[in-house]
Amino acid sequence: MYQSKLFSKTRKEAPKDEVSKNAELLIKAGFINKEMAGVYSYLPLGLRVLNNINKIIREEMNRLGSQEVFLTSLQEKENWEKTNRWSDEVVDNWFKTKLKNETELGLAFTHEEALTSLMKNHVRSYKDLPFSAYQIQTKFRNEARAKSGIMRCREFLMKDMYSFSRDEKEHLVFYEKAKQAYVTVFKRVGLGEKTHLTFASGGSFCKYSHEFQTAADTGEDLIYYSAKNKIAINKEVLNAEVLGDLKLEQKDLQELKAVEVGNIFTLGIKFSEPLGLVYLDEAGEKKPVFMGSYGIGPGRVMGAVVESLADDKGIVWPVEIAPFKVHLIEIGTSEDVKKAAQDLYSELQKAEVEVLYDDRDLRPGEKFADSDLLGIPLRIIVSEKTLISGEYEIKERALGQVNMVKEIEVVNFVKKYK
């Protein structure tokens, strides 16, 4: 990609009404555009990051054996009435609409009801279980407060997965595998060291659910983290009973602000029973299917990366989700410099390295400031100085470390960088 052809440009300022760090930086860097409060469009750079996050999620969910589906956003109210979640008094963030014939519909904020109802066509006996399905699909929530950038939106992408088992014992086997898959996802997106498995309320479903909370100074949640045990407790459920269950002492816990990037729940038969999702066991008796729910917000992950890893110069993308691996910057106007930069760009492309090539006619300081803001992992500078020395300056965005690499070794250095 030639930066001169990139239609999104960097900006000096974010919208004045934008208060979240993630949205300010992403808007200034040209990754997203704010359409209205809680609603953002993803521009080419932002979509590349979002797609990389989705790719990691898909790979780990597929490795679990889960199968991808794509369900409708438009929802008939009948199924939701059966589970008592249609009423605005019960669920206060519905977006609802009507067909021209006055039939009332909702825009899905989650999909337990929809998939549970669908599974009645596919589950007959114990031989059909266990099973899990996931999707990466748009959700709609009529949030009263949407001031956290892409981490709390009214329209957003969610990866929601649902598991269907014969009983709790079978469910818990999958639940533990899903928990580990989530740990892997957050490690791969670059949040592994900052994201903590957090015990939270199980609501009416079970005693505990598990959240994945990323430590960030601007986070909305408060968690209490045990470095020794590598687990945390959400402030909402911190009490003597929970400390006893987890064999933790209050004095050993560190209070952290955090951003919830994922959660997993045991649902039990809360949805299968009212919606009639049953199976025949070995004895031919009807039993309700035992369920679980597992969510990750790809946009929330993207926002959490910015909140947690950005520095005073701009965004810092981990390699596996960065929009490009290399930011190639051409400094100077001589034909020799232009040819050397173009040749290196072609070599990196042949090596299947994704490169953003800054070919713009701007001062070096402007190019470097934009590069810091964009946060691409490696910056390679091509200038008269590098042509004379025979070495390229390769700067690592995350560490600020500068490597002088011989011309013939540049491609190998870049390919090996992780």
Rounded distance between C-alpha atoms, residue 191 and residue 122, angstroms: 37
Residue 54, pLDDT score? 98
Q: Mark whether 269 and 182 lie in a shared domain.
A: yes
Residue 238, pLDDT score? 95
Structure tokens at 386: 């590098």
Classify residue 342: in a domain, yes or no. Answer: yes
**Nearest alpha carbon to residue 128 among 99, 170, 169:** 170
Task: Say which residues have a Cβ less than 8 Å from residue 27's Cβ, sequence separation at least 6.
Answer: 11, 14, 15, 18, 33, 34
Q: Mark whether 223 and 289 lie in a shared domain.
A: yes
Residue 202, pLDDT score? 87
Give 417: exposed, middle or buried? Use CB within 10 Å, 0-12, 13-18, 19+: middle
Residue 317, pLDDT score? 98
Report DSSP letters for 135-199, one per residue. EEEEEE---S---SGGGS-SEEEEEEEEEEESSHHHHHHHHHHHHHHHHHHHHHTT-TTTEEEEE
**Nearest alpha carbon to residue 109 among 53, 151, 69, 156:** 156
Domain that holds residue 408: 324-416
Rounded distance between C-alpha atoms, residue 406 and residue 374, angstroms: 26
Number of Cβ atoms within 10 Å of the Cβ of 244: 9
Q: Residue 278's Cα: distance from chain center in Å?
A: 33
pLDDT tens track for 51-62:
999 999 999 999
Q: Mark whether 295 and 394 lie in a shared domain.
A: no
375: CATH = 3.40.50.800
Classify residue 146: in a domain, yes or no. Answer: yes
Residue 206, pLDDT score? 80
Classify residue 319: in a domain, yes or no. Answer: no
Query: What total number of domains does the chain contain?
Result: 2
Q: Long-range CB contacts (< 8 A, 24+ apart) of 384-393?
A: 384/331, 384/332, 384/334, 384/336, 384/337, 386/340, 387/336, 387/337, 387/340, 392/344
Report DSSP letters for 310-368, one per residue. -BTTB----GGG-S-SEEEEE-S--HHHHHHHHHHHHHHHHTT--EEEE-----HHHHH
Classify residue 318: in a domain, yes or no. Answer: no
Q: Mark whether 274 and 402 lie in a shared domain.
A: no
Q: Mark whether 37 and 73 lie in a shared domain.
A: yes
**Nearest alpha carbon to residue 18 among 2, 3, 38:** 38
Task: Say which residues have a Cβ less than 8 Å from residue 38's Cβ, sequence separation at least 6.
Answer: 143, 146, 152, 153, 154, 155
Classify residue 67: in a domain, yes or no. Answer: yes
Residue 278, pLDDT score? 98
Classify residue 351: in a domain, yes or no. Answer: yes
Asked whether the beta carbons of 23 and 34 are under 8 A apart, the reply is yes
Residue 199, pLDDT score? 96
Number of Cβ atoms within 10 Å of the Cβ of 322: 26
125: CATH = 3.30.930.10
Q: Mark whether 240 and 380 lie in a shared domain.
A: no
Q: Mark whether 57 and 202 lie in a shared domain.
A: yes
Q: Mark whether 151 and 53 lie in a shared domain.
A: yes
Tens-digit pLDDT string for the chain (418 aa): 999 999 899 998 887 888 899 999 999 999 999 999 999 999 999 999 999 999 999 999 999 999 999 999 999 999 999 999 999 999 999 999 999 999 999 999 999 999 999 999 999 999 999 999 999 999 999 988 877 899 989 999 999 999 999 999 999 999 999 999 999 999 999 999 999 999 999 877 788 999 999 999 888 899 999 999 999 999 999 999 999 999 999 999 999 999 999 999 999 999 999 999 999 999 999 999 999 999 999 999 999 999 999 999 999 999 999 999 999 999 998 999 999 999 999 999 999 999 999 999 999 999 999 999 999 999 999 999 999 999 999 999 999 999 999 999 999 999 999 9
Residue 12, pLDDT score? 87
Q: Mark whether 35 and 80 lie in a shared domain.
A: yes
Residue 145, pLDDT score? 80
Q: Among the three residues 309, 340, 361, which one is the final residue of a domain in this structure?
A: 309
Rounded distance between C-alpha atoms, residue 340 and residue 325, angstroms: 19
Place of tokens 């990196």: 348
pLDDT tens track for 201-259:
987 778 899 999 999 988 889 999 999 999 999 999 999 999 999 999 999 999 999 99
Q: Mark whether 264 and 381 lie in a shared domain.
A: no
SS3 (DSSP) at 36: strand
Q: Mark whether 254 and 389 lie in a shared domain.
A: no
Asked whether the beta carbons of 303 and 149 are under 8 A apart, the reply is yes
379 beta partners: 327, 395
Q: Mark whether 379 and 290 lie in a shared domain.
A: no
Q: Among the three residues 309, 344, 372, which one is the final residue of a domain in this structure?
A: 309
